[in-house]
Structure 1
Amino acid sequence: MATQAPNAAPLPLLYNSLDALNSGQHGNMKLRKSYDLPQVGQIHAVPVTVEEFTIVQRYYPIIFSAGENSVPLALFGLNEGVNTYFDAAGRPLEKNTYVPAYLRRYPFLLAKLRPDTDELSLCFDPTSGSIADDADGPALFDGDQPTETTRNILAFCEQFETAGQRTQAFMDELQKSGLLIDGEVAIQPEGVDQPFLYRGFRMVDEEKLRDLRGDELRKMNQSGMLPALYSHLFSLSQVREIFARQVEQGKGPAGAKLPETADA
Structure 2
Amino acid sequence: MATAPNLPMFYNDLVPLSTNQHADWKLQTQDKAPFLAKTHAVPITIDEFIPSSRFFPIIFSAGSNSVPLGLMGLNEGVNIFVDDAGSLINPIYVPAYVRRYPFMLARLRPDAQELSLCFDPTAPGIGADVEGQALFDGTEASQVTKDILGFCEQFEQAGARTQAFMEELEKLDILMDGEVAIQADGQEQPYVYRGFRMVDEEKLKDLRGDTLRKISQNGMLPLLHAHLFSLALMKDIFAVQAQTGRVPTQNPAIQPVV
Structures share a fold, TM > 0.5?
A: yes
Q: 2:184 aligns with which of 164, 183, 189?
A: 189
Shift in Å at residue 68 of structure 1? 0.6
Partner of 1:70: 66
8 Å CA contact retained: 1:192, 1:255: no
- Separation in 2 of the partners of 1:15 and 1:176? 33
Partner of 2:84: 88
Q: 2:127 aligns with which of 120, 128, 132?
A: 132
8 Å CA contact retained: 2:31, 2:87: no
Gaps of 5+ in 2: 252-258
Which runs of structure 2 are paired with 1:43-58 in the superposition (5 Å)? 43-58=39-54
1:27 aligns with 2:55: no
- Separation in 2 of the partners of 1:51 and 1:37? 22
- Separation in 1 of the partners of 2:186 and 2:137? 63
Shift in Å at residue 35 of structure 1? 6.2
- Separation in 1 of the partners of 2:240 and 2:248? 12
1:212 aligns with 2:239: no
CA separation of 1:190 and 1:6: change in aligned 2, threshold 3 A? closer
Partner of 2:75: 79
- Separation in 1 of the partners of 2:244 and 2:109? 46
1:121 aligns with 2:106: no
Which runs of structure 2 are paired with 1:1-264 in the superposition (5 Å)? 5=1, 10-34=6-30, 36-94=32-90, 96-254=91-249
Gaps of 5+ in 1: 257-264
CA separation of 1:120 and 1:255: change in aligned 2, threshold 3 A? closer
Partner of 1:259: none
8 Å CA contact retained: 2:61, 2:68: yes
Shift in Å at residue 132 of structure 1? 1.3
Count, aligned residues: 251
- Separation in 1 of the partners of 2:70 and 2:4? 26
Amino acid in structure 1 at the alignment position of 2:73: G
